[in-house]
Amino acid sequence: MPGFEVFGAEERKHVSDVLESGVLMRYGFDGMRNGHWKAKEFEKAFAEKMQSQYCQLVSSGTSALTCALAAAGIGAGDEVIMPTFTFVASFESIMMLGAVPVLVDIDDTLTLDPKAVEAVITPKTRCVMPVHMCGSMADLNALRAICDKHGLILLEDACQALGGTYNGEPLGSIGDLGCFSFDFVKTITCGEGGGIITNNKIYAERLDQFQDHGHDHVGTDRGAESHPTLGYNFRISELHAAVGLAQLEKLDGILKAQKEHYTILRDSLAAIDGVTFRRVPEGGEENYSFLNFFLPTEALTQKAHKALKEAGVDACFYWYTNNWHYIKGWEHLRNFKSLGRLPEEIQKQMQDLNTTDFSKSDYWMGRTISSLVKICWSEAEVKQRAALIADVVKKVLS
């Protein structure tokens, strides 16, 4: 990770096809395309790769979440359960529809704690959104059971976990809907882009309509299409889809390199007393995009992170104090800093995030360090990095 590390002739070829036709939009202008339909090709290939019947490409991972929620009928006042450790897009996509994000604790998987999920279900709960952060997954068996018990939608945010599996099934394909990001720092990239997969025909039709202003896409005259529903413009362009199509062809090689490099890094830390690793649920396999490890205390973890930076180890993250990925940094959400008035349902129903006890999440996040796994490293570079990280951590813990 990320896919931009392997840009090459394949991406240039697919992009050139689009530029030579001059049609940058995914819809219409059939006679000018010279047979090139990059978004359609990408959707078909990605659905097959993810063992799903349908794929809808959109403009970003954030819009993928928004479209997925909309396709599931989530709207004003509906509650969506999400974790405290994620990206800001999780609550943004929920609130855009007037729905209410309900934040709950994570566990040692660094993803949704099923017990915390069940504890906050109300008559207004409509959806559970696990976020497979840093390449690994939530306990999907437990979450699926909870959703089935209460009649809830299970929406997988697999934006950071493309290529991971659970009981042999691709992450994103296990829930009712699964979302992916193809932005510039994801496992494969379109530059900007996202995708949703589902096996539900009704959801697939709604996704197709909602991401393109409600168009039904019936016939060959775009101007004559009807609008069965309100929608918005979340379309992907042909240029972005072209890049993604080339990147998808490289996914297996990317995942192989990530696993090899991850294993070297993990092995270097595994023998150090006091170092433990995030729990991967039984039956799960990460996509190996990050190595996530715990140290015994928050103070030692902060000290180790500082020492790693001083030693020149790049791409090592301490999410606990990161403004993008953890509740502590979301002051704008906690205090409702919006450009306009938020929907009344959000104002009335939303938990007070300044007073809610997230100490269980703090316990795990305060002790977590994540190392990005790059695919451009040589074997010698990976081993050198592994030895340096291990040496720094040993000194901090000694």
- Spot the catalytic one: 13, 38, 49, 186: 186
Are the C-beta atoms of 1 and 262 separated by less than 8 Å?
no
**CA quadruple 93, 202, 27, 246: dihedral sign:** positive
**143 Cβ contact list (under 8 Å, min separation 6):** 112, 114, 117, 128, 130, 154
> Quick count: other Cβ atoms within 10 Å of Cβ 352?
7
Q: Which residue from 172, 118, 108, 116 is spatially nearest to 140, judged by alpha carbons? A: 172
CA distance 245 to 250: 9
Amino acid at 262: Y
**191 Cβ contact list (under 8 Å, min separation 6):** 182, 183, 184, 239, 240, 243
C-alpha Rg value of the chain to the nearest Å = 21
Amino acid at 246: A
The residue behind tokens 């974790």 is: 83
Quick one: DSSP state of residue 328? G
**Catalytic residue flag (residue 186):** yes
DSSP of 103-136 = EE-B-TTSSB-HHHHHHT--TTEEEE--B-GGG-
The backbone torsions φ and ψ at residue 99, rounded to the nearest 5 degrees and listed phi first, read -80, 170
Beta strands in the chain (DSSP E): 54-58, 79-83, 100-104, 125-128, 153-157, 165-166, 169-170, 177-181, 194-198, 276-277, 284-285, 290-294, 316-317, 368-372
Helix and strand numbers, DSSP H then E, in the chain:
14, 14
Are the C-beta atoms of 194 and 179 separated by less than 8 Å?
yes
Are the C-beta atoms of 5 and 375 separated by less than 8 Å?
yes
Are the C-beta atoms of 157 and 175 separated by less than 8 Å?
no
Active site residues: 186
